[in-house]
Amino acid sequence: MEKIGEKEANVLKKRTKRSEKIFEEAKKWMPFGVNSNYRYLDPYPLYFSKGRGSRLWDADGNEYLDFNMAFGSLGIGHSHPVLVKAMRRRIENGTIFGFEGEDIAVLAKTICQRFKVDMVKLSSTGLESTMHAVRLARAYTQRKKILKFEGCYHGSHDTLMVNVKPSLAKTGKSTVPNIVPSSQGMLDEILQNTIVAQFNNIDSVEEAVKKDRDDLAGIILEPIPMNMGFVPPKPGFLEALRRLCDETGALLIFDEVKTCGKFYHGAEGEFGVTPDLKTMGKAIGGGYPLSVLGGKKKVMDAIVPGVVAHAGTFNSNPVAVTAGLVTLTKILTKEKLAYAAKLGGELADGYTDIINDAKLKAKVQSIGVSGTMHFTDHEVTDWRSFLDVNVGTWWTYYTAMLNRGVIPMATGPDEQWTVSVQHTKEDITTHLEAFKTVVRELLRSEVSMEMVEAI
């Protein structure tokens, strides 16, 4: 008897013959045929040709309703007409000058006022922003140690590329996990200055920093971790981190590369806790490479030429500046984000209703435009509780949704959906109707397997 996972995988292969052909050529010139390891899928990654509004088309011409939205980078949706028009004008007048553009002060002011920071420095990627945040925290405090949380991803630089997706066998003690490098090629000497604790567990944080309190430069975290699904902070957790940093003199750093585009004032506006530094990116660039390091003036003033480095040829290039300015002032407005958040709530409620009606072993976790669905019977509050999620069933669900023309969320059981300002109520209905048919298939498969086992 063909299992549902095998059946859906075979259907997807038949639908994506050109992706398979592209992969066979691409892997000759690029390891695994992709330029971000997270895009590789077995037996091959999918390749896409265009996106418009809430939809994507793959290389085979298959149309998908897209709730990945480039891992949350496209809160404005694909090819938003307002941005397309502005970018045509921008490109006609130059894409990079080697100098600052005339609009840079306007964008900097817009970011500062909206996200409640005093000053900013711009780069291109989220990785750069978190790297600069760590460097600045160490320079400002004259200390070495940085604390991060197990399961959180902050870009692929060595200081923070630890305990991103560790196996339970390697992690060790739950309160103070072992340091687990997420790649070969990382130096032990660098990792000695990284501390790891459990998210949503202030006792774990206290124990982790006990012997290094006087050398703690900063605590960095995603206010809502989004590499173990979608994990809201427990009441009081962010406030406890703020108090700990105040007591020790360490800097509290919010990695808002994702959350800055999901809430109008970012995580601070949602949870009411003020960090010393924020890193931002993804959605605020409208699909163009733009990232931000922002924070309190007394800290940002430590970035001095020849003293604390911050540089990059493509930093604040006019293409990214125009994209950011148009996105923040004309597209990701308070009203449009509220509309997208309403649709996000309807999607989450719809998932919950379908799951409850079917008595499916699954949990929905969401706030506003984003959320996720885990195949588990408990809430996911940290990395170790995520490890109990049924990954195999998730991939079957994901593949089946693709075959029904819906990309339900970003690729992987540790990801989440994004509802853009271009999604509609009809899109939500289509998504949920597809999920209903998938649930029926999953339940039918469970019954069939029980019968086989009984025989």
Active-site annotation, residues: 153, 255, 282
Tokens of 34: 């992709």
Buried-exposed string 199-232: b where 16+ CB fall within 10 A, e elsewhere:
bbbbebbeebbeebeebbbbbbbbbbbbbbbbbb
17-29 vs 4-15: helix axis angle to the nearest 10?
Answer: 80
Buried-exposed string 353-388: b where 16+ CB fall within 10 A, e elsewhere:
ebbeeeebebbbbbbbbbbbbbbbeeebbbbbbbbe
d(CA 210, CA 216): 10
Which residue bears the tokens 């290094």?
Answer: 212
Which residue bears the tokens 């996720």?
Answer: 372
d(CA 370, CA 260): 12
Burial environment of residue 177 by CB neighbours within 10 A (0 to 12, 13 to 18, 19 or more): buried
Buried-exposed string 423-435: b where 16+ CB fall within 10 A, e elsewhere:
beeebbebbbebb
Query: Are 438 and 404 within 8 A, CB to CB?
Result: yes
For residue 283, give the H/E element and its range.
Answer: none
Question: 131 phi and psi, to 5 degrees?
Answer: -60, -45
